Amino acid sequence: MESDISLEESTVAPDFFDDDFDSNDSVEEGTLPGGRYLDRELSWLAFNTRVLELAEDPRLPLLEQVNFLAIFASNLDEFFMVRVAGLKRRIATGLAVPTNIGRGPAEVLEDISRKAHELQARHARAFHDQVKPALDDAGIHVETWSDLNEEDRQRMDEVFSQKIFPVLMPLAVDPAHPFPYISGLSLNLSVRVRSSKTGRVEFARLKVPQVIPRFVPLPDDGSGRTRFIPLEDLISNHLEELFPGMEILEHHEFRVTRNEDVEIEEDETENLIQALEKELLRRRFGPPIRLEITDDMDDVTLSLLMQELDITEQEVYRLPAPLDLGGLFQLTKLDRPNLKYNKHVPVTSAALLPSDPTEKADVFASIRKGDILVHHPYESFATSVQAFLEQAAADPDVLAIKQTLYRTSGDSPIVEALIDAAESGKQVLALVEIKARFDESNNIVWARKLEQAGVHVVYGLVGLKTHCKLASVIRQEKGELRHYTHIGTGNYNPKTSRLYEDFGLFTADDEVGRDVTRLFNELSGYAIEKKFKRLLVAPLHLRKGLLKHIQHETENARKGLPSGIRIKVNSMVDEAIIDGLYRASQAGVPVDIWVRGICALKPGEPGLSETIRVRSILGRYLEHSRIFSFHNNGETRTYIGSADMMHRNLDRRVEALVRLSDRNHIAELGRLFDLAMADTTSSWHLRADGTWTRHSLSEKEVPLNDLQNVVMRRVSQRRRGGSLR
């Protein structure tokens, strides 16, 4: 999709229709064939397969391969804890609601199990057969006890007795000691022992402590190598100290994954925080859904574990030691820059630099000159978003700050800025989403700290998660109030901002300011019902608005006018949006979908989606931004925001997309799409049958362009007032 936009113009033409959509507006209906969606769960496993392919790629720096091995393991843990757990819950309760492709949960669970077994075995092979030997060659050794010489063993005996033994807690299983609770994702040792006095064989469970590094450093042997031994291996070879007078018959590693999703009926409780805290305690006791064991485990021990955990054979995963390769994250922190991506230091956005280098940066003055679009992590979060809020907190002319917090870091300067602002007498509103999955406890702590500082803390609307990324600053200037607004695609988290690719818009546009102020008022007061000018807001208007844009492109194509749709999301699952894109394709609209994770849309299907291309790009940064662009007969309309095309985002979350008004920004995102969809860019291509094919080498076996490296280079070379060229 090409556009003839003039870069000299600063604003778009008048709207072809008002974004103020009526919820009763109809969109085009039509008959589409059955079987037109891909299974969302298998599509997610295909995404994690792409992560694994990066771990297997010897062209990547070695410790980056290690990192992708760990990411794969962490991703799969969460998939089991949430998605597999959800399917099992539906089966157990009899609520066998069909999946997005009309299949029963039990049938899908079978396919997931088969694929997950295959992937976990492949993951283990990648570590043992490829990455571990490469680590050995690089002087990074993960040893076993049998690899150690006598001197090493004596020194590790001391380490064990001084630093590990006091922390361990063996738990016996006998008539006086029932089978212990096995916490989710904990690594454990099963031990069978025989009493030298009675001759009885007993079972014990030993939890590998998570407070000790998973890979214990071995002493320097003068070889220059960096050596480790897995903690569980070190413990296994000192079991006689834990069970004196007992004969150690068998010992094996195992790991349990539990249902750790949280469900809260908000309308049944007056205090959401108290209800959530109780639910978080219950989470620890969710039913087991996966048992990982080392492949040498004896049948007696396995039978006992399966019986006590109520686990089926299908849910048992036999793997070579070590289990839980998520622990490899520890090795990625080694100071070996030659084994990592070249370091990239984010630059300050050119638009935020002062005209005079000797002057102090003034974020508000920069925003007054015109809208600013920042691209993280290529452009600095600290000198843009963080500076915006810190300056607002310190500015005596700022009267109020309002912000959403979905996920943030444990030592967040963003939260500290809000506290400083409240303590200096400003009106501060923080909408803290304490139901953000797996960040609930952290967000409860921050919510209470904010409340103690005098911040007005609210938790959004009953039944909805607040996922939009908004910050509003109200400043008094020359006797009038002025809105300064930030709308982003990612969380207000300084740590993940260095790893997640996201966009953020700063604007002093009064229309956007009023939209955001009204939205904040509704979030802290009553349900969202009002309409907005430059925002598309879920759950009431976002789906309808996007469908109307898609329909408009469809109608233009039928009239023979230029048309085109480009969408970048993390997930593309929503059936109504997918059907709208199918109809657009049937009318001849070129459709480009850039998706990181799940995609239930089938591209390239004759008569259905021949004009649709789907690409996925994975790399050193997690592609996280969401972009929606519509050709609009040459007057491109582009939105950025926080919403993925999933039911939860469109129906059960408060989301917001903002329409860009600066043609330079619209053109910048257009060029980014051109790069992403180019055949010369390394990416994965989705086929109609659901298979993803990696395109990373040219026909001459020359590596294709890495999009993130290209963008990094372009942004670093950008000059003040320039754009992404």
The residues annotated with a catalytic role in the active site are 467
Three-state helix/strand/coil letters over 595-641: ECCCECECCCCCCCCCCEEEEECCCCCEECCEEEEECHHHCCEEEEE
Max Cα–Cα distance, the chain, nearest Å: 91
Contact residues for 664 (Cβ-Cβ < 8 A; gap 6+):
7, 10, 723
- The kind and range of the H/E element at 692 are strand 692-695
Cα 424 from Cα 419, distance rounded (Å): 9
Residue 324 zone, left/alpha/beta (φ > 0; ψ -120 to 50; rest): left
Amino acid at 170: P
Residue burial 140-155, b: 16+ Cβ < 10 Å; e: rest: bbbbeeeebeeebeee
Provide the β-strand partners of residue 375.
503
Contact residues for 15 (Cβ-Cβ < 8 A; gap 6+):
none
Cβ(528)–Cβ(461) below 8 Å: yes
Grouping H, G, I as helix, E, B as strand and the rest as coil, residue 96 is coil
149-158, long-range: CB < 8 A, 24+ apart: 152/218, 152/219, 152/221, 155/219, 156/216, 156/218, 156/219, 156/229, 156/234, 157/238
Cα 238 from Cα 235, distance rounded (Å): 5
Residue count (the chain): 725
Cβ(404)–Cβ(377) below 8 Å: no
Amino acid at 110: E
Residue 437 in tokens: 């999955």
Neighbours of 480 (CB within 10 A): 7
Residue 138 in tokens: 């690089």
Contact residues for 414 (Cβ-Cβ < 8 A; gap 6+):
385, 386, 389, 403, 405, 408, 492, 493, 494
Cβ(145)–Cβ(229) below 8 Å: yes
Cβ(344)–Cβ(380) below 8 Å: no
Cα 673 from Cα 222, distance rounded (Å): 52
Grouping H, G, I as helix, E, B as strand and the rest as coil, residue 219 is coil
Grouping H, G, I as helix, E, B as strand and the rest as coil, residue 537 is strand
Spatial CA neighbour of 683 closest among 611, 595, 601, 599:
595
Residue burial 161-174, b: 16+ Cβ < 10 Å; e: rest: eeebeeebeebebe
Which 8-state DSSP code applies to residue 364?
H
The end-to-end CA distance of the chain, in Å, is 17
Cα 477 from Cα 560, distance rounded (Å): 50
